[in-house]
Amino acid sequence: MTSHNQQLFEASQRIIPGGVNSPVRAFRSVGGTPLFFQRGQGAYVWDADGKRYTDYVGSWGPMIAGHCHPEVVKAVQNAAAQGLGFGAPTAAELEMAELLCKLLPSLGMVRLVSSGTEATMTAIRLARGFTGRSRIIKFEGCYHGHSDGLLVKAGSGALTFGQPSSSGVPAEIAALTTVLDYNDAAGLERAFNGMGKEIAAVIVEPVAGNMNLVTPKPEFLQALRKLCTQYGAVLILDEVMTGFRVSLQGAQGYYGIKPDLVTLGKVMGGGLPAAAFGGRRDIMQCLAPLGAVYQAGTLSGNPVAVAAGLATLKLVQAKGFYENLSRMTKQLTDGLTASAKKHGVQFCAQSVGGMFGLYFSKAVPASYAEVMSCDKEAFNRFFHAMLDAGVYLAPSAFEAGFVSAAHTEADIVATVAAADKIFSTWK
């Protein structure tokens, strides 16, 4: 009998390109039929066939409080009852802006938008307008949304499909993007020595989460700040994924690095489309209507999305929230690593705050090249075995995973036990 997931996927492919509205959802990297979810509650999601899974994707990060947290749902319902959108200022937008500036000291001013892609796209334009320069630096395997200039050796879905660059990006635009190796401080210094006066901005994921999880070396972060200051370039931290995910002050607080601009999304929307960018006042004041850098959006600061975000950000400020989240996430990665070692499986894992990475390799990777040397087929095999066991991991070897505050110790123990049973059968 054909499953409901299969029926839905077959129908979707007839009218939606690839059957999905975001490429990695298609399961092309891991094979098989993608799951169509009907509902979520806490740490669990249920697919179209009614099967329950322990969810370690969490809508790719936003569900830090778990699915359908009652306070978030109530906030959304209350906001929706007052109006779904106005295309005009609201007091809630101001409340969100003030809260973001309070939680992230690097934000002197902030503007709300609707997606991480919109935030990073505009941050790049703003940096170019502020500096009067055109060149940007990004790092191989880092994904900053799908705007043209950033789809050059990108991570995330582009990496999953083996096409780190995109068709349709004009060569003239791609030529303005210099791609360097993540965690290579010496390479960054050489680039600045050679073209420092051309560089408008350096954009980086402070913890790379779109080529699996790759953490920054201290000397790399120090070089980023030092060189951008020295050459007058704008340092943009893409915290769409790490913002309020690794700590209350994001990766910038976790690692002690002060950016010039920051992009945010995911957690700050609580599961609804909300994002932001902000930073130094002198840079932000270049935005229209104050300055000549144009940006606009009909749905920017949507009241329902802002309500979900405010409710979520209230929850994460609770005492001990991040300590408990980090402990639970580390318990997961430590348990999986110990199980693999016991059964002689080449595997390792690591975590930062509520993010984690799983690697079928001898050592935790520190660069794009090292990520690409991991055993992708072993991951695919593990992914499907865990799916059969009721554990939903990201359907790609090149994506970070996420734990929520709704995951219990029993969930973690059960997940590790499922993996242990799988590893025990591997030869």
CA distance 342 to 365: 21
Number of helices (H) and strands (E) in the chain: give both, helices first.
15, 14
Residue 44: pLDDT band (50, 70, 90) is: very high
Section 158-178 average pLDDT: 65
Residue 151: pLDDT band (50, 70, 90) is: low
- At 392-422, the pLDDT tens digits run 999 999 999 999 999 999 999 999 999 999 9
What is the pLDDT, as a whole number, of residue 407?
98
Work out the percent of the chain whose per-residue pLDDT is above 70.
Answer: 96
Asked if pLDDT for residue 286 goes beyond 50, the answer is yes
Active site residues: 143, 238, 266
Section 170-188 average pLDDT: 88
What is the pLDDT, as a whole number, of residue 168?
73
- At 365-401, the pLDDT tens digits run 999 999 999 999 999 999 999 999 999 999 999 999 9
Domain 4-68+319-423: CATH class, spelled out = alpha beta
The token pair at 124 is: 């790049």
Compute the C-alpha angle 181/186/192, nearest 5°.
90
The single residue listed with the structure tokens 């993007």 is: 177
Q: Give the count of alpha carbons within 13 A of 156, CB side only.
A: 17
- Residue 289 neighbours by CB distance under 10 Å: 6
Asked if pLDDT for residue 158 goes beyond 60, the answer is no
Asked if pLDDT for residue 3 goes beyond 70, the answer is yes
Residue 337: pLDDT band (50, 70, 90) is: very high
What is the pLDDT, as a whole number, of residue 152?
66
What is the pLDDT, as a whole number, of residue 160?
38
Asked if pLDDT for residue 149 goes beyond 90, the answer is no
Residue 174, judged by CB atoms within 10 A of its CB (0-12, 13-18, 19+), counts as middle
- At 287-313, the pLDDT tens digits run 999 999 999 999 999 999 999 999 999
The token pair at 122 is: 């505009």
Section 238-259 average pLDDT: 98
Contact 145, 138 (CB under 8 A): no
The mean of the pLDDT values for the chain is: 94
Instruction: Find how far residue 187's CA is from the centre of its chain.
Output: 25
Show me where the domains of the chain are located: 4-68+319-423, 70-316
What is the pLDDT, as a whole number, of residue 170?
76
Section 108-133 average pLDDT: 97
The token pair at 334 is: 């430590």
Domain 70-316: CATH class, spelled out = alpha beta
**Which range is least confidently modeled, 24-28, 43-47, 212-216, 362-366?**
24-28
CA distance 226 to 221: 9
Please give the backbone phi and psi of residue 370, each rounded to the nearest 5 degrees, phi first.
-70, -35
Work out the percent of the chain whose per-residue pLDDT is above 90.
Answer: 88
Q: What is the pTM of this model?
A: 0.95
What is the pLDDT, as a whole number, of residue 169?
76
- Residue 292 neighbours by CB distance under 10 Å: 8
Helices (H), 242-302: 250-255, 281-284
DSSP secondary structure letters along 353-416: TTEEEEESSSS---SHHHHHTS-HHHHHHHHHHHHHTTEE--SSTTS-EE--TT--HHHHHHHH
Residue 2: pLDDT band (50, 70, 90) is: confident
Residue 165: pLDDT band (50, 70, 90) is: low
What is the pLDDT, as a whole number, of residue 153?
58
